[in-house]
């Protein structure tokens, strides 16, 4: 798989950043531009604050250092703005200039820094983050190969003992049931075909990637991310279940 193909999932995100950044992040029915109840900045960031309280509660139970945090795929800063009240330093990374421009115009906190990324590597020095967070991002990656690269970057930037909380769709055991993995592969192939067609047409697109739990746990362990846990909770904002994986960078020695 070439670099261009690996970065293909950035295309639609940059388009959402140009066309409808709030809806691209929070795709609730009727809340798109021109919809029955389009997002306002106040509503959008209030939603982020509500959701961040839910995430923070679970992460605090696991154990998180509220020092320097990296947010992967910060988008328009829906959660970033709320995170700034808890962390000493927040670095939000996103592949969309348009999303970052909206975030900058709505977040004035001095402890927030926004950086442009490429979806392949993080513009952050090695072992400098106490924590790493990502929500509604890994579910839109192009493939498990790309996910593996992103998790390798997570492991690289975390300090030993630093923790991550990543929201993503998890396929739980029993994976040994005949046909489960094959069905996932067929669905993925069909999704790839639809994506290619829609990209040629320039149509807005949101990819969907699912993570087999056995694969995810093994990959994280291989990368030096240990104490892996899965937490599933319903967000207060809309009652939708959110699955998050938590892990800690292995201590050296």
133 φ/ψ sector (left φ>0, alpha ψ -120 to 50, else beta) = beta
Query: Is 209 in contact with 139 (CB distance < 8 Å)?
Result: yes
Query: Is 223 in contact with 151 (CB distance < 8 Å)?
Result: yes
State the DSSP H helix or E strand holding residue 44, giving kind and residue range, or none if neither: helix 41-62
Distance of CA 111 to the CA centre of its chain: 21
Query: Is 244 in contact with 167 (CB distance < 8 Å)?
Result: yes
Closest CA to 140 of 204, 56, 200, 80: 204
3-class state of residue 144 by DSSP: helix
Closest CA to 229 of 143, 150, 163: 163
pLDDT at 143 (0 to 100): 87
3-class state of residue 111 by DSSP: coil
| Residue bearing tokens 């790309």 | 146
Over residues 70-85, the pLDDT tens digits come to 999 999 999 999 999 9
Give first-to-last CA distance, the chain, whole Å.
35
pLDDT at 1 (0 to 100): 38
Q: Angle at Cα 207 formed by Cα 237 and Cα 105, nearest 5°?
A: 55
What are the residue ranges spanned by the domains of the chain?
3-174+208-249
Task: For domain 3-174+208-249, give the fold.
Answer: Rossmann fold (3.40.50)
pLDDT at 12 (0 to 100): 77
| Residue bearing tokens 């990324």 | 117
Residue 155 CB burial class (10 angstroms; 0-12, 13-18, ≥19): buried
Q: Which comes out higher in pLDDT, residue 9 or 180?
A: 9
Highest mean pLDDT among 7-11, 27-31, 244-248: 244-248
Of the chain, the percentage scoring pLDDT greater than 70 comes to 82
Among 4-8, 32-36, 95-99, 136-140, which stretch is predicted with the lowest mean pLDDT?
4-8
**pLDDT class of 13 with cuts at 50, 70, 90:** confident
In this prediction the pTM is 0.84
């Amino acid at each position: 798989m070439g670099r261009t193909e690996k970065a293909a999932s950035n295309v639609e995100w940059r388009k959402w950043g140009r066309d409808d950044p709030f809806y691209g992040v929070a795709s609730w029915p009727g809340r798109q531009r021109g919809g029955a109840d389009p997002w306002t900045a106040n509503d959008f960031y209030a939603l982020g604050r509500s959701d961040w309280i839910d995430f923070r509660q679970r992460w605090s139970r696991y154990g998180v250092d509220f020092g320097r945090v990296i947010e992967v795929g910060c988008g328009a800063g829906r959660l970033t703005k709320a995170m700034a009240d808890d962390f000493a330093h927040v670095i939000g990374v996103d592949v969309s200039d348009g999303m970052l421009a909206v975030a900058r115009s709505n977040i004035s906190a001095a402890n927030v820094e926004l950086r442009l990324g490429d979806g392949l590597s993080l513009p952050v020095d090695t072992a400098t983050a106490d924590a790493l967070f990502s929500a509604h991002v890994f579910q839109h990656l192009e493939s498990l190969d790309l996910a593996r690269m992103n998790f390798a970057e997570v492991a690289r930037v975390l300090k030993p003992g630093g923790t991550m909380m990543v929201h993503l769709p998890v396929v739980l055991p029993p994976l040994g049931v005949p046909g489960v993995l094959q069905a996932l592969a067929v669905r993925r192939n069909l999704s790839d075909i639809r994506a290619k067609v829609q990209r040629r047409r320039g149509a807005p697109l949101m990819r969907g990637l699912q993570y087999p739990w056995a694969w995810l746990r093994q990959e994280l362990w291989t990368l030096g991310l240990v104490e892996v846990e899965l937490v599933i909770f319903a967000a207060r904002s809309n009652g939708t279940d959110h699955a998050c994986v938590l892990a800690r960078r292995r201590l050296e020695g």
